[in-house]
Amino acid sequence: MKVFNLGCELQHGFEGWFASEADYDDQLARGFLECPVCSSKQIVRLPSAPRLNFGARSSEPAADDSAQADASSATPTPAVKQASSDVVAGSCDLALQAAWLQMARQVLQSTEDVGQRFAEEARKIHYGEAAERGIRGQATREQTESLMEEGIAVMPLVLPEALKSPLH
C-alpha cells in the first residue's frame, strides 16, 4: 500500500492511498482523482518526507543523549527553526480544511436537498406554506437576489461532490 501526499491547484492538501505507484498513475490519467475540498481534478503528487534528519547523532551514552536533546531543542538551528514554522503554517491550513469539511458534512446531514426547487421551497417555508426545515439546493444568481430582496435569508455554499456520496 502506498500513501501519497496530494494537492490541487488551489493548494488543498490531502492523502491518497494506492495499491502501487502505477495504480496512482493510472487513476490520475483516467481522471479518477479529485480534491475532497473543492472537487478539482488538477491533482499533483506533493513531496513527502517520512523521516527528516537534521543532524548526526552522537555516540555518547544514553544519559548524555537526553541532556544533549534538551539543549538542542532549546536552541534550534536555523534549518530546524524554518522547518518548524513551515509545519505550523501547514498545520493551520490543514486545521482550516478539516474544520471546513466538518462544517460541510454537518450541513449535508442537517438539511434536505431540494435541488432545482430551492427558490420555490425557500419561499414556501418563508411564507408558512411548508414546514420550517433546513434546505439546500441550486438557485441562479437572479433567484438568489430575488429571495434576498424578499427578506429570505439564503447563503451560497459550494459543497464538494466527494462529500455527497459515500467513500469507496
Provide the pLDDT for residue 82: 43
Provide the pLDDT for residue 107: 87
Inform me whether the pLDDT recorded for 85 exceeds 80. Answer: no
SS3 state at 50: coil
Provide the pLDDT for residue 125: 93
Provide the pLDDT for residue 49: 65
* Cα-based distances in Å from 81 to 68, 73, 94, 144: 17, 10, 20, 48
Inform me whether the pLDDT recorded for 133 exceeds 90. Answer: yes
Provide the pLDDT for residue 50: 59
Would you state the torsion angle of the CA atoms of residues 114, 120, 126, 127, taken in this order, to the nearest 10 degrees? Answer: -140
Task: List the chain domain ranges.
Answer: 2-45, 111-163
Q: How confident is the model at residue 10 (pLDDT cuts 50, 70, 90)?
A: confident
SS3 state at 113: strand
